[in-house]
Chain A
Amino acid sequence: MKALKCRECGREYPLTANHVCEFDFGPLEVVYDYDRIKKSLTRAAVQSRPKTMWRYRELLPVANDPTVGLQAGFTPLVKADRLAKKLGIRELWIKNDTVNYPTLSFKDRVVSVALSRSKELGFDTVACASTGNLANSVAAQAASAGLKSYVFIPSDLEQGKILNSLIYGAHVIGIKGHYDEVNRLCAEIAGKFGWAFVNVNMRPYYAEGSKSMAHEIAEQSGWRIPRHTVVPMASGSLLTKIQKGYQEFIKLGLVPETKYAVHGAQATGCSPISVAQKAGLDFFKPVKPNTIAKSLAIGTPADGFYALRVMRDTGAAAEDVTDDEIRDAIKLLAETEGIFAETAGGVTVGVAKKLIASGKIPRDDSAVLCVTGNGLKTLDAVDGHVGKPREIKPSLREFEALLVNEGKVNA
């Protein structure tokens, strides 16, 4: 790490807990010394290190060895032949962050970085504004690091995500409003209390953690960048960091320079970025979210502008799917690959299906789908849509009768 730098005007700032350019409010981003990193971060060096996200340590914004989230990342890249056949594409891979450690979503990556850096900067209390997954990860990782935590969430979140924060002893504050309102309140709180707000004043460090997903995809693909990557978009941050991760690997000579596209996926009930992309605009109009994909329900996406730029620069597309399409895609992924994703995963798979059907991802190509969270956390979304168990007495005759009734065997 060299400095923080404004993405809009280029002004540089010291490496403190600060996320906004004083001049134009542009987001601050960590700057690295890639010439120096190139000397130590070789394929051989990476492969000699433990299988966690920290094997790309030089590209993560901590000054010393990390202290929080040492086991996060390096989730499986699963070859999804059965799903590929259903969607009609030659080759398909699932980057499976439903099994990230410790809280089963890609947020374990960003929180590991944010809390490691928070400790370096001397904070004893961490906080976040969250649609659920981030709250879970902050609560769990703060507990294991001995930090106090405050997590702010919309009060109507899925029960699973609420309990998944409370269990760790975090201070959980439910806000009567949607995520954008939680976000606004947290921006005000962050200015008042001396806490490390992982996605407010710690955002420059926090957001960098997402890059490790791209680094892993490239390494697990045999040190190359996949032709197509499909990424869910809430604030748009993950998509921009996937692109940054790929670009870094090219810059460091770890992968060959190839043509690739990073496509964006949203839920129709909250699709400011995909609507703008489809209309060919370079700005978006904020919306009021209304979707079962609550983890993606950000109507004022802070990185929407940059996400649109990445899609334009890589020749990519965006698409969105309805609540029913999200549920169908969750089921399809589960039934073909044995992976139970949360609603955001349904958004990614559903959008991939549409992009393949429309030819935006050609059928003879290969694609990686980023599945970012676990279905066990959003059971409410599929409850009532996946059938019920048939109940019988503990009797062989009843079971045989059931099979006959269902036409599975002849009478």
Chain B
Amino acid sequence: MPKKVRIPTPLRKLTNNEELVEVNAATVGDAIAELQSRYPGIQERLVDEKGEVRRFVNVYVNEEDIRFLKNQQTPLKDGDEISIIPAIAGG
């Protein structure tokens, strides 16, 4: 069953300008791998050489930062929405 991933503007060149992409993955980490299989090159934009989510990339599942959940092991259920958002400055 599909989960939705919101693709941020800087990555839409890789997704043929798709803003919302559906995946079937069971975890956030699997979702990134699934994106990579469909849109080659997207994985290295999101995770570093050690496999960690990059320092300036924030990933949310249903509006909750995955660092408050189980990071890339965060489980996904049907209808979940993943957002990928660059870290931004304060105010």
Task: Using known A-B contacts A19-B86, A25-B57, determine if residue A128 contacts B91 with beta carbons closer than 8 Å.
Answer: yes
CB of A131 within 8 A of chain B? yes
Task: Using known A-B contacts A25-B10, A27-B56, determine if residue A298 contacts B88 with beta carbons closer than 8 Å.
Answer: no
Within B36-91, the residues touching A (CB, 8 Å) are: 45, 54-58, 60, 63, 65, 67-68, 83, 85-91
Q: Mark A182-222, 1 if CB is under 8 A from B, else 0.
A: 01101110010000000110010011000000000000000
> How distant is B63 from chain A, measured CB to nearest CB, in Å?
7
> How distant is B49 from chain A, measured CB to nearest CB, in Å?
11
Alpha-carbon gap, A199 to B58, bound state (A):
16
CB of A305 within 8 A of chain B? yes
CB of B9 within 8 A of chain A? yes
Alpha-carbon gap, A179 to B11, bound state (A):
25
A134/B91 in contact, CB under 8 A = yes
CB of A20 within 8 A of chain B? yes
A129/B56 in contact, CB under 8 A = no
B56/A26 in contact, CB under 8 A = yes
Task: Note all chain B residues with C-beta closer than 8 A to A179.
Answer: 90-91
Task: Note all chain A residues with C-beta closer than 8 A to B54.
Answer: 24-25
Task: Note all chain B residues with C-beta closer than 8 A to A229.
Answer: none
> How distant is A195 from chain B, measured CB to nearest CB, in Å?
13
> How distant is A253 from chain B, measured CB to nearest CB, in Å?
30
Q: Which of A21, A135, A180 contacts B65 (CB 8 A)?
A: A180
Alpha-carbon gap, A27 to B90, bound state (A):
13
A235/B90 in contact, CB under 8 A = yes
Within B1-39, the residues touching A (CB, 8 Å) are: 6, 8-11, 13
Q: Interface size of A by Cβ–Cβ distance < 8 Å?
A: 46
B65/A302 in contact, CB under 8 A = no
B83/A25 in contact, CB under 8 A = no
Task: Using known A-B contacts A24-B54, A286-B67, A305-B55, determine if residue A131 contacts B91 with beta carbons closer than 8 Å.
Answer: yes
Alpha-carbon gap, A25 to B8, bound state (A):
10
A285/B83 in contact, CB under 8 A = no
> How distant is A112 from chain B, measured CB to nearest CB, in Å?
15
CB of A118 within 8 A of chain B? no
B90/A191 in contact, CB under 8 A = no
A25/B56 in contact, CB under 8 A = yes
Q: Is the interface of B mostly helix, strand, loop or mixed?
A: mixed
Task: Using known A-B contacts A283-B55, A300-B65, determine if residue A25 contacts B86 with beta carbons closer than 8 Å.
Answer: yes
Closest-by-CB residue of B relative to A6 is: B56
A286/B9 in contact, CB under 8 A = no
Task: Using known A-B contacts A24-B56, A184-B83, determine if residue A203 contacts B88 with beta carbons closer than 8 Å.
Answer: yes
A286/B57 in contact, CB under 8 A = no
Task: Note all chain B residues with C-beta closer than 8 A to A8.
Answer: 55-56
Q: Which of A22, A26, A180, A199 contacts B89 (CB 8 A)?
A: A199
> How distant is A226 from chain B, measured CB to nearest CB, in Å?
24
B91/A300 in contact, CB under 8 A = no
Chain A CB within 10 Å, residue with most, of B65, B68, B90: B90
> How distant is B47 from chain A, measured CB to nearest CB, in Å?
10
Task: Using known A-B contacts A20-B86, A188-B85, A191-B9, determine if residue A181 contacts B63 with beta carbons closer than 8 Å.
Answer: yes
B45/A235 in contact, CB under 8 A = no
Alpha-carbon gap, A25 to B88, bound state (A):
10
A→B interface (CB under 8 Å): 8, 19-27, 107, 128-131, 133-135, 179-181, 183-184, 186-188, 191, 199-200, 203, 206-207, 234-237, 283, 285-286, 288, 298, 300-303, 305
Which 6 pairs of residues, A with B, have the shortest CB-CB distance? A235-B90, A134-B91, A130-B91, A302-B87, A234-B90, A191-B9
What 9 new A-B contacts, CB under 8 Å, besides A186-B88, A187-B86?
A21-B10, A24-B54, A26-B55, A199-B88, A203-B88, A206-B89, A234-B91, A286-B67, A303-B89
Q: List 21 A-B contacts (CB under 8 A).
A: A19-B86, A20-B56, A20-B86, A21-B10, A23-B45, A25-B10, A25-B45, A25-B87, A26-B55, A26-B56, A133-B91, A183-B88, A184-B58, A187-B86, A188-B6, A234-B90, A237-B89, A286-B68, A302-B56, A302-B90, A303-B89
